[in-house]
Structure 1
Amino acid sequence: MITRIREVRRAKKMTLQEVADQCIPPTTPQTVGRLETGTRTVSVGWLNRIAKALGVEAADLVRLPERDDLPIAALLGPDGAHAPRREALALPPAVEAGMIAVRVEAGIGDYRAGDEIWCRRLAPDAFSQAMNRDVLLPRPAGRFVFGRLIGREAPAGESGGKLHLLPLGSGQRQTVITDPPWAAVAVRLVRPL
């Protein structure tokens, strides 16, 4: 089996030691290196352990003949575009459990028509993770509100509370939503050029 463990590890900017430490149970960096180079056989169990440590699906670690890889040709930085020092591959976006998407039909704020905003759902006790980020909140009767979470008022020791959202459009007033059952924080922008 031809694996892409090394390419995915490098794309995630992780060292052999970091991957070894993230494995459950932990392993050694030498073992991860042997799995990368093929000097040790990669079983399904090892593939699943390494995938979990890297935060990807096991299928992302296997070269499939019917799936083309997307090589990274250049790196763009403040000094312009330059070739990568070693071969690298772009990882396709992976959908995590519990994710939802918002499709932008008309440009508003920083978003353009045709954009897709991938969001991770959060329970009320995790709302603080979305502070100063764009969120989608449910409203009654199948409606939603989308905006920048700029404040949260929660009684001591309780989750939820009042969430203060700044709308994306100019001239709109701040919205306050009380005790939403969930929030979805924007984590990825998919934009056709």
Structure 2
Amino acid sequence: MITAIREVRRAKNMTLDDVARACVPPTTAQTIGRLETGTRTVSVGWLNRIAAALGVAAADLVKLPDRAELPLAATLDGDGAHAPSRPAALPPPVAAAGAVAVTVSGSVGDYRAGDVIWCEPLEPASFAQAMNRDVLVPRPGGRFLFGRLIGLDGRAGGGGDDLNILPPGAGNRPQVVTDAPWIALAVRLVRDL
């Protein structure tokens, strides 16, 4: 199996030791180096461990003949754009299983017409992970509410949560949604420049 472990690691400015320490359980830089170069066979288990340490999907570390990669041309920081010290390539983004999208047809708040917002669904037990983040919330009758989750209140006597959602745009007032079966957390903004 041909992997892109080295390319992804370099694109993320991580050393072999950084990746080794981020693995669960931790391993050695030498082991990561052997897996990168192919002197040690990369199992699915290793691929998953290294992907988690790099913060990417395991599929992003496998080179497939028909899968495009984006060559890393530069890195940008407060001092400007700089050429990478070594050639690197990044895998294009891939949506997570179960993900949904929101298209922006008219500019509102920080979003521009033409933007696409990728969202990952959360079950009620995980709603707190979305505090102060933008979410898509289903409403009765096939409607939705999109905005910042600014409050999560458990109701007395059991039975669900009240979600306080602030829609984007100036002058909007928070709206309360009760007993949402799920919400989708905005995780990626795709914008044409």
Q: TM-score normalized by structure 2?
A: 0.85
> Counterpart in 2 of 1:79?
79
Structure 1 residues 28-67: aligned runs within 5 Å:
28-44=28-44, 46-67=46-67
Give the SS at the match of 1:50.
helix
Q: Helix, strand or coil for the counterpart of 1:6?
A: helix
Letter of the 2:104 partner, please give it.
V
Query: For 1:3-152, what aligned pairs fall within 5 Å after superposition?
Result: 3-17=3-17, 19-20=19-20, 27-44=27-44, 46-152=46-152
Q: Within 1, Cα distance between the matches of 2:160 and 2:9?
A: 37
Q: Which runs of 5+ in 2 are unaligned?
A: none
Partner deviation per Cα, 1:41-73 (whole Å, 9 max, x = no partner): 334554455345544444322333333321111
1:187 aligned partner: 187
Equivalent in the alignment of 1:163:
163
Contact 2:68 2:92 in 1 (8 A): no
**Which structure 1 segments of 5+ residues have no match?**
none
* d(CA) in 2 for partners of 1:115, 1:147: 15
Greater displacement, 158-167 / 118-127: 158-167
Aligned letter for 2:31?
Answer: T
Question: Could you state the TM-score of these two structures normalised by the residue count of structure 1?
Answer: 0.85
Measured in 2, the distance between the counterparts of 1:92 and 1:186 equals: 18
Change (3 A) 1:149 1:57: closer
1:48 and 1:81, CA in 2 relative to 1: closer, same or farther beyond 3 A? closer
CA contact under 8 A between 1:127 and 1:160: conserved in structure 2? no
What RMSD over aligned residues (CA atoms) do the two structures have, in Å?
2.6
Asked if the contact 2:68/2:91 (under 8 Å) is kept, the reply is no
Kindly, what percent of the aligned residue pairs are identical? 67
Q: More displaced, 11-20 or 81-90? A: 11-20
Go from structure 1 to structure 2 and tell me whether the alpha carbon gap of 1:42 and 1:125 turns closer, same or farther (over 3 Å shift). closer
Find the residue that maps to 2:59 and give its secondary structure: helix
* Distance (whole Å) between structure 2 residues aligned to residue 96 and residue 13 of structure 1: 24
Task: Tell whether the 8 Å contact from 2:2 to 2:62 is kept in structure 1 after alignment.
Answer: yes
Residues 163 and 177 of structure 1 are in contact (CA less than 8 Å); yes or no, is this contact kept in structure 2? yes
Shift of 1:74: 1.3
